[in-house]
């Protein structure tokens, strides 16, 4: 680094300077905790003052393999020197291998690559509607999709149309029609909501933003059975729950359920580039024809190279096994805190929703104190905090996470 650059970096680079700059220039669509990260490796991030924090949010599960996983950064660096964008007007030597491997991981025929999670959800909605008209025979413009109360599927106009979170939803109308909401986990309500025009049920197998809400035992199996019987597609949004987080490749695997459509994102890009995908059999995804859907960046060579490397990591089963094993350690640790500042814990693998005793403090306040204690986490919905450390976390780091939480709540 030249002396001039070093000097420039040193001037006005305190935490408060960076926060002031961001508060002045960045639209306030987030409410970040007061930490300014400048470097990261594995499960640890370092702020501009050189202080280290254990990252127990992991980019909302986009960083399942930790920061700077060597296999993923190598794949990205290597691809940067070759070709990064071709557009889908031409083939690249990266897209076929990526989609082949991802389809194999999911046990499906076809992959439709996109970029962000919301785009993949939008894609699945479009596919389900087109399938409804062309395969199921629903009258034009009558297709309906059943969604769950408390859902989170992204931020586009169509997706917020069926969000019941007023902050995400209000003042963004007019809203996209065609969605029916039922209570999450209520099979009878779902069955009652299905009509001849229903083309799909869209759900998160575990609701992430909702606070790691796990449906009742047997629910997903019953949804699978019901949707099959009624000729309705089951669309599983595994953007946050999938790719190793719960101790299985997909959260649906925990119940041995195979949906018609997997919607993937977040960790698929290895925390390096946005990569999302819709994965399904030809009988469903075959309705997409040239020009009927697309994306300039979807499936670009850089994204495909990173995505294929991610699939390569998951194909070994090593990370799923880690999430299972260390998830037990986390569950034991958190279980010991129930009744000591924690009202309830919901956990699958290395993914926990922790309800803080509201009499003690808010979720935000708990996150502030954890930050002071050297742990990064994010609250969701008032008094719940979500723990989702990278799956590369070690056992002593899980212990540190639990110990710090215990201290904060004391």
Ligand X SMILES: *Cc1c(COP(=O)(O)O)cnc(C)c1O
Q: Which residues bind ligand X (CB under 6 A)?
A: 60, 116-118, 121, 152-154, 204, 208-209, 237, 239-240, 265-266
Nearer Cβ to ligand X (319/351): 351
For residue 209, how many other CB atoms are within 10 A of its CB? Answer: 19
Least distance from ligand X to the Cβ atom of residue 262, Å: 12
Tokens matching residue 103: 């389809």
Instruction: Report which residue's Cβ sits closest to ligand X.
Output: 117
Q: Annotated catalytic, 152?
A: yes
Q: Active-site residue among 266, 297, 355, 378?
A: 266
Active site residue 65: no
Q: How far is the CB of 207 from ligand X (least distance, A)?
A: 8
CB closer to ligand X out of 54 and 121: 121
For 202, phi and psi rounded to 5 degrees? -110, 120
Closest separation in Å from C-beta 169 to ligand X: 15
- The catalytic residue among 47, 55, 237, 355 is 237
CB of 256 vs ligand X, minimal distance in Å: 21
Let me know: does 158 contact 176? Beta carbons within 8 Å.
Answer: yes
Closest CA to 311 of 76, 93, 72, 119: 72
Can you tell me whether residue 338 is helix, strand or coil? Answer: strand
Nearer to ligand X, 92 or 116 (CB): 116
- Nearest to ligand X of 83, 168 (CB atom): 168
Is 266 assigned a catalytic role?
yes
Closer to ligand X by Cβ: residue 160 or 354: 160
Q: How far apart are CA 302 and CA 72, in angstroms?
A: 11
From the CB of 378, what's the least distance to ligand X, in Å?
12
Q: Which of 98, 152, 179, 297 is catalytic?
A: 152
Q: How many angstroms separate the CA atoms of 132 and 185, rounded?
A: 24
Q: What is the C-alpha to C-alpha distance for residues 63 and 348, in angstroms, rounded to an integer? A: 17
Contact 106, 228 (CB under 8 A): no
CB 116 within 8 A of CB 153: no
Phi, psi of 184 (to 5 degrees): -65, 130
- Catalytic residues, by residue number, are 152, 237, 266
């Amino acid at each position: 680094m030249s002396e001039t650059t070093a000097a420039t970096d040193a001037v006005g680079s305190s935490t408060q300077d960076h926060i002031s700059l961001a508060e002045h220039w960045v639209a306030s669509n987030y409410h970040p905790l007061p930490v300014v990260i400048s470097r990261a490796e594995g499960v640890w991030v370092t702020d501009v003052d050189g202080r280290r924090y254990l990252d127990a949010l992991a980019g909302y599960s986009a960083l399942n393999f930790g920061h700077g996983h060597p296999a993923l950064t190598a794949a990205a660096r290597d691809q940067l020197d070759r070709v990064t964008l071709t557009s889908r007007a031409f083939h690249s030597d990266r897209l076929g291998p990526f989609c082949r491997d991802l389809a194999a991981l999911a046990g499906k025929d076809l992959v439709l690559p996109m970029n962000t999670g919301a785009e993949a959800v939008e894609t699945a909605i479009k596919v389900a509607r087109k399938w409804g008209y062309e395969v199921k025979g629903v009258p034009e413009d009558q297709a309906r999709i059943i969604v769950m109360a408390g859902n989170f599927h992204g931020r586009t106009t169509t997706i917020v149309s069926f969000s019941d979170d007023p902050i995400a939803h209000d003042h963004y109308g007019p809203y996209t029609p065609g969605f029916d909401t039922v209570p999450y986990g209520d099979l009878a309500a779902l069955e009652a909501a299905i009509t001849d025009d229903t083309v799909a049920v869209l759900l998160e197998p575990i609701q992430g933003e909702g606070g790691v809400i796990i449906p009742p035992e047997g629910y997903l199996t019953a949804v699978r059975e019901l949707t099959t019987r009624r000729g309705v597609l089951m669309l599983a949004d595994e953007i946050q729950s999938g790719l190793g987080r719960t101790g299985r490749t997909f959260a649906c695997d925990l119940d041995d359920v195979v949906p018609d459509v997997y919607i993937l994102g977040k960790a698929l890009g290895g925390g390096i580039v946005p990569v999302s995908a819709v994965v399904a059999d030809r009988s469903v995804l075959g309705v997409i024809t040239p020009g009927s859907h697309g994306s300039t960046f979807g499936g670009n060579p850089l994204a495909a190279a990173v995505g294929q490397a991610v699939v390569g990591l998951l194909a070994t089963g090593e990370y799923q096994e880690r999430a299972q094993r260390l998830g037990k350690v986390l569950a034991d640790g958190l279980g010991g805190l129930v009744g000591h500042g924690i009202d309830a814990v919901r956990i699958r693998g290395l993914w926990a929703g922790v309800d803080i005793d509201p009499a003690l403090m808010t979720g935000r306040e708990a996150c502030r104190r954890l930050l002071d204690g050297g742990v990064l986490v994010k609250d969701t919905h008032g008094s719940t905090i979500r723990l989702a450390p990278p799956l590369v976390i070690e056992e002593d780091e899980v212990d540190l996470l639990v110990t710090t939480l215990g201290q904060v709540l004391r």
